[in-house]
Structure 1
Amino acid sequence: MGRWLYTGLLHLIMPFAVMRLFVRSRKNPAYKQRIRERFGCFPKTALSGQAVIWIHSVSLGETLASELMVREMMSMYPHHRFLITTMTPTGSDCVKKLYGNTVDHYYLPYDLPLALKRFFHRFSPKLAVIVETELWPNMLHQCRSFHVPVILVNARLSERSAKGYKKISRLTREMLDNVTMVACQHQADSERFQSLGLAEGKCCVTGSIKFDLTVGDAVIEAGKQLRGRWESGLEHPARIWIAASTHEGEDEVILSVFQSLKERFTDLLLVLVPRHPERFDSVFHLCLKKGLSVVRHSQGSVASPETQVILGDTMGEMLTFYGASDIAFVGGSLVATGGHNILEPAVLGLPVLTGPHVFNFQAISQSLQQAGGMLQVDNQQKLEDALSQMLSDTQQFSAMGKKARAFVHANQGALQKLLQLVQKTLQEDKAS
């Protein structure tokens, strides 16, 4: 498939894409707001006449992962204006919460030539930094047309995704030709990119910037205070199990495991944090349907002696939730979503549990398991067995937590490599 055929097909399905926004807006009204931006229509005053560095992080996870990199770049280039684009309302909210008015934020337009031309005419970025692997044929073509160097940072490419790209090899090769540099998380990612046609000189392995996350004293203290607030209404101190970033199909499993464990470990408290805010209400009602006593964190409720589940129904507090917990299960892994960031609980010294589907973090997951900081379970029964063993042997999960933290610290350093790459790319572009 060539780019022109792809573009023609994209125009044909565009009405359905817009319809999908309105369907999703039933659960999250933000999806039907700012639709003009998705077609390249921006305020006339948007960044007019300023040197712009553009960073694209598709949603919440990428936005959080790139925060330290963005802040370091802002310090390095104080005379540039930073534009951050996302594709989802949760990503948008995260940008606003993290940076306020110190950056500009808009939705990235759909991959339509005219919409993207309006985007590039309006902002004229000096550099495009794309977080992870967000490859859009027309976007990358316009980067080349407007002489904008493109760096993919923290890039990863699973074996499954590589097979998909090979099915559209002509289009994939054209996209990769328009990329200046791909900074991969692992050697396996680099090899897969090169197998798709990326020139060896355009590929380097920097590691993952997710290892470079910093947990300040304020986060640790916030976790302690939150735990104290939760336990203040309980008769005895609790052991807290957090199930984080869960998806539909996982909550039922988590709650069933919890109910079984609660019969043996009466001091166990579950913190359940759905991945998507539009599911907060449905998960709350699921807890009630199962006969569990649940309080919503968003309402500031204090746990009572009867409380069994705390629903983490807010955004941007995951590190605080982890800091208040003892054992972490990271969701998106019991269903075929590919898993989520396992390093956040690890850096806080929590033993980590996941399901079998961790292809988004395959190499990191394998390494963390080998380091002794993580267990991967195949199903509901094995999850219950693993938790039962941990809760019966506090020394085991304490040792796992220490190994998890040590693993993260041992693998830090990707951020400085990426900053050097950004600096080199900007210098070379200026010289040319």
Structure 2
Amino acid sequence: MIRALYSVLLWLMTPLVMLYLWRRSLKQPDYRKHWNERWGFYGKRTRSDQRTIWLHAVSVGEVRAAAPLIKSLKDAWPDHRILLTCMTPTGRATAQELLGDAVMIAYLPYDYAGATRRFIRQFKPVFGLLMETEIWPNLVAVCRARGVPLFLVNARLSAKSAAGYQRWHWLANPAFAGLTTTFAQSDADAARIAALGAQSVLVTGNVKFDFDPPTAKVSLGKEWRNALGPRPVLLFASSREGEETLLLDALSHNTLPADTLLVIVPRHPQRFDEVAALISARGMRCLRRSEWNGQDAGDAQVLLGDSMGELTAWYTLADVAIIGGSLLPFGSQNLIESCAVGTPVVMGPSTFNFAEAARMAVEAGAALQGADTAQVAQLAIGLLQNDAARHTASVAALHFASAHRGATERVLSELAQQLARTAPPTGSTPPAH
């Protein structure tokens, strides 16, 4: 009855959902594409007799984290096709860039019961993997009714989010209980998820540590570094709305090393023009990536990364990286990718999306954390001015990123064992570990 009421309320909200998509499309026209998939209509072109393994990753961060897992799934079950579903155009574009034709890419429909049934009927997955915190009551219920094992992978749940789910426990608890198994990032995540009703919870670590920096992007970043010469480079990576103003204000009250190039890469592409205008309004000389030939940046004070898919190159270029989403209460973006190329990290106070990784990075000396934006600016400038401290942090970052690898292998091993005990994909052999 509770889920039926939820479904009715969801249907009543449909005009608001459509209005939301339309408004998002004004700044990001790609929201107008693949509209029917949002309601579970995919057309005949995606039908196939080949058995399907389905993985859902909401947006860019989850897609990037899923890439090593997808490779391992393809190695383990080569006779199956992989379906990767997303919820955002940027996630879909990232999937296309990273994985190309190696996977099918589609939107997961909104959580209407009929739409989820059409989705399962269309693709007939032998099992599904949900990345991080994607819990949808109707989706879980439909998978359970259709006998599709559903696993929550790389699961994380902050205390704040757990409290939010608890307020809706009458709807959330049955959804968590309907999962086959949850593979959690940490003991704290596992405890919170189990308290919400999940029946089988295992701690396997964070698969984002298994990220392999793309060789081509690392080479590109090195080319940029050589072209720019000895200029110090401070990167503000995946900045969120409101954070650029805070950081620019904080930096204006400190003395940057001479000739420092500040690189700002906004998290969302629809904000590129907004951030460019913000920089120009301060009288700062701004050069956009779309106008830059990758060689000398001239007298530019700020380089705006208005491109997609080059974050690894930006991390490789930088001497120090400030992680976006951590200055304001967004929970931080992924700090592990910076560490993976040996670039020291500075974070703000908000890191609940990466709480365990942030804590361990600080303990390892791979990252510094400021209590506010002013302190973040001071810490970043301190690293830029101290070659020895920066080198030590760089070595620590590389070691930190490599020391915690292996979550993907642990997930695949447990997954294979559980499928072997229940209903393993026909014609496949579980991977040996």
Q: TM bucket by the smaller chain?
A: over 0.9
In 2, the alpha carbon distance for the partners of 1:223 and 1:102 equals 26
1:324 matched residue in structure 2: 317
Q: Structure 1 residue 295 and structure 2 residue 293: aligned?
A: no
Query: In structure 2, which of residues 362, 366, 370 is the aligned counterpart of residue 369 of structure 1?
Result: 362
Q: Structure 1 residue 430 and structure 2 residue 423: aligned?
A: yes
Q: Is the 8 A contact 1:22 1:31 kept in 2?
A: yes
In 1, the alpha carbon distance for the partners of 2:419 and 2:105 equals 22
Q: CA, structure 1 residues 335+407, in 2 after alignment: closer, same or farther (shift >3 Å)?
A: same
1:95 matched residue in structure 2: 95
1:203 matched residue in structure 2: 201
In 1, the alpha carbon distance for the partners of 2:172 and 2:93 equals 31
Q: CA, structure 1 residues 85+309, in 2 after alignment: closer, same or farther (shift >3 Å)?
A: same
2:139 matched residue in structure 1: 139
Instruction: Give the aligned residue type for 2:391.
Output: S
In 1, the alpha carbon distance for the partners of 2:252 and 2:119 equals 52
Taking the TM superposition and a 5 Å limit, the aligned residue runs for 1:47-126 are 47-126=47-126
In 2, the alpha carbon distance for the partners of 1:12 and 1:50 equals 37
Q: CA, structure 1 residues 304+174, in 2 after alignment: closer, same or farther (shift >3 Å)?
A: closer
Q: Structure 1 residue 271 and structure 2 residue 271: aligned?
A: no
Q: Is the 8 A contact 2:319 2:384 kept in 1?
A: no
In 1, the alpha carbon distance for the partners of 2:110 and 2:124 equals 18
Deviation at 1:43, TM superposition (A): 1.2
Show CA shifts across 1:97-152 (max 9, x none).
12222211111111001111111111110010111110000000110011000111
Instruction: Give the aligned residue type for 2:105.
Output: H
Q: Percent identity?
A: 36
Q: Is the 8 A contact 1:47 1:81 kept in 2?
A: no
Unpaired stretches in structure 1, ≥5 consecutive residues:
none
In 1, the alpha carbon distance for the partners of 2:155 and 2:424 equals 26
Q: Is the 8 A contact 1:244 1:273 kept in 2?
A: yes
More displaced stretch, 281-290 vs 372-381:
372-381
1:173 matched residue in structure 2: 173
Deviation at 1:389, TM superposition (A): 2.1
2:428 matched residue in structure 1: none
In 1, the alpha carbon distance for the partners of 2:266 and 2:214 equals 25
1:42 matched residue in structure 2: 42
The TM-score, its normalising length taken from structure 2, stands at 0.94
Deviation at 1:217, TM superposition (A): 4.6
Instruction: Give the aligned residue type for 1:215.
Output: P
Taking the TM superposition and a 5 Å limit, the aligned residue runs for 1:184-223 are 184-199=184-199, 202-215=200-213, 217-223=215-221
In 2, the alpha carbon distance for the partners of 1:389 and 1:94 equals 34
Instruction: Give the aligned residue type for 2:277.
Output: H
Q: Is the 8 A contact 2:85 2:108 kept in 1?
A: yes
In 2, the alpha carbon distance for the partners of 1:152 and 1:213 equals 19
1:30 matched residue in structure 2: 30
Q: CA, structure 1 residues 8+345, in 2 after alignment: closer, same or farther (shift >3 Å)?
A: same
Instruction: Give the aligned residue type for 1:292.
Output: M
The TM-score, its normalising length taken from structure 1, stands at 0.95
Show CA shifts across 1:33-89 (max 9, x none).
211110111111313322010010010100001101101211221111111100000
Deviation at 1:406, TM superposition (A): 1.1
Q: Is the 8 A contact 2:184 2:190 kept in 1?
A: yes
More displaced stretch, 57-66 vs 368-377:
368-377
What is the DSSP-based 3-state SS (H/G/I as helix, E as strand, rest coil) of the residue aligned with 2:42? coil
What is the DSSP-based 3-state SS (H/G/I as helix, E as strand, rest coil) of the residue aligned with 1:220? helix
What is the DSSP-based 3-state SS (H/G/I as helix, E as strand, rest coil) of the residue aligned with 2:333? coil
Instruction: Give the aligned residue type for 2:273.
Output: D
In 2, the alpha carbon distance for the partners of 1:98 and 1:216 equals 9
In 2, the alpha carbon distance for the partners of 1:217 and 1:105 equals 24
What is the DSSP-based 3-state SS (H/G/I as helix, E as strand, rest coil) of the residue aligned with 1:194? helix
Q: CA, structure 1 residues 431+50, in 2 after alignment: closer, same or farther (shift >3 Å)?
A: closer
Q: Is the 8 A contact 2:287 2:297 kept in 1?
A: no
Show CA shifts across 1:134-188 (max 9, x none).
0000000110011000111110010011001111112122101210010000000
In 1, the alpha carbon distance for the partners of 2:358 and 2:399 equals 15
In 2, the alpha carbon distance for the partners of 1:218 and 1:90 equals 21
Instruction: Give the aligned residue type for 1:205.
Output: V
In 1, the alpha carbon distance for the partners of 2:377 and 2:103 equals 45
In 1, the alpha carbon distance for the partners of 2:120 and 2:270 equals 32
Q: Structure 1 residue 160 and structure 2 residue 153: aligned?
A: no
